[in-house]
Amino acid sequence: MEITFLGTSSGVPTRSRNVSSVALRLPQKSEIWLFDCGEGTQHQLLRSDLKSSQIRRIFITHMHGDHIFGLMGLLASTGLAGAKGQVDIYGPPELKDYLNACVRYSHTHFASRVQVHPVQPGVVFENDQFTVTCNPLKHRIPAYGYAVTEKDRPGRFDVEKAKALGIPPGPIYGDLKKGETVTLEDGRQVSGKDLCEPDEPGRKFVYCTDTVFTENAVDLAADADVLIHEATFAHQDAEMAFERLHSTSTMAAQVALAAPVKQLIMTHFSPRYAPGNPIRLNNLLEEAQAIFPNTCLAHDFMVYEIPRHRD
């Protein structure tokens, strides 16, 4: 699971940071899931190592323009991935109406079959490899955080060990691989579990934006490998954070600490922390690290590989 940040600025693009979008490349698959799609996301994809044609699912946190204004352009430009070129989009209930209105006024024909799924708290998607859940955050308009939980991988079946025990290869290996107990022709009983390495625990990716500090983010991020959390403001600008229902660096760190998570990546920075402002993004980093040391700052095109849980 590989994360690529496509936009890390809040509200407006700057020369070095675009508005929100994060790509998640799935393991062993040429499939990408996108989280938010601010204006210019398709342009950022062109400049990245990702192929926008591989986008299979798009998860939208909330309806503010800096999180959705790139969606129409992306969908119009790209024949997207999956069976019959389908893309599934998950987001607040108004998302479907918004896209329908845009399609109608702009006479757009999507290059892919687009299906929009309104989300509710809980499971929003599940297949044999992943479960995606969402939880409401605390913003000026309804906003949802998303958690992608990889299912545990069954441990590798040890063929050599099976052969050494004198078990002849055949359909019986299939049962043993599933961990079942089988009776051999000579009467011996063998448990597949003894022939399999332990399961490899799945990984967990969590994306929380836009929001002020909320226990719902803590719950969603429980035991995550990576938490991407917005940190629009520095700690000393907390008043603005409360007023606009955004987070400070220290709120992001509090969520990471309470969850807890393994790694916090902060993003969605206010463009105010630019030369001329005595506060710099490094100050946000230091503030967060004082609470949760394993914190870093996202930047556009930053790639983060979530490590597997091999023993």
Residues within the interface to Zn ion (CB under 5 A): 64, 210
CA-angle at 14, arms to 9 and 17, nearest 5°: 45
DSSP-assigned letter for residue 240: H
Annotated binding site for Zn(2+): 62, 64, 66-67, 139, 210, 268
Exposure string of 151-185, with b = 16+ CB inside 10 Å and e = fewer, is eebebebeeeebeeeebeeeebbeebbebeebeee
Determine if 105 is a binding residue for its own copies (CB under 8 A).
yes
Report the DSSP pairing between strands 130-136 and 32-35: unpaired
Determine if 94 is a binding residue for its own copies (CB under 8 A).
yes
Determine if 290 is a binding residue for its own copies (CB under 8 A).
no
Determine if 89 is a binding residue for its own copies (CB under 8 A).
no
* Residue 66 annotated as catalytic: yes
Closest CB 41 distance from its own copies, rounded Å: 9
Q: Which is nearer to Zn ion, 18 or 54 (CB)?
A: 18
Determine if 114 is a binding residue for its own copies (CB under 8 A).
no
Annotated binding site: 62, 64, 66-67, 139, 210, 268
Determine if 274 is a binding residue for its own copies (CB under 8 A).
no
Selected binder of its own copies within 29, 30, 47, 303 (CB under 8 A): 47
CA 68 to chain centre: 16
Q: Are 253 and 287 in contact (CB under 8 A)?
A: yes
| Residue 97 interacting partner from its own copies, Zn ion, none (CB closer than 5 to 8 Å by kind) | its own copies
Q: Phi/psi of residue 244, each to 5°?
A: -100, 0
Exposure on the CB side of residue 207, measured as CA atoms within 13 A? 28
Q: Which residues pair with 248 in a beta bridge?
A: 233
Determine if 77 is a binding residue for its own copies (CB under 8 A).
yes
The catalytic site residues sit at: 66
Catalog residues that contact its own copies under the rule CB under 8 A: 11-15, 18-19, 39-40, 42-43, 46-47, 63-66, 68-70, 72-73, 76-77, 94, 97-98, 101-102, 105-108, 140-141
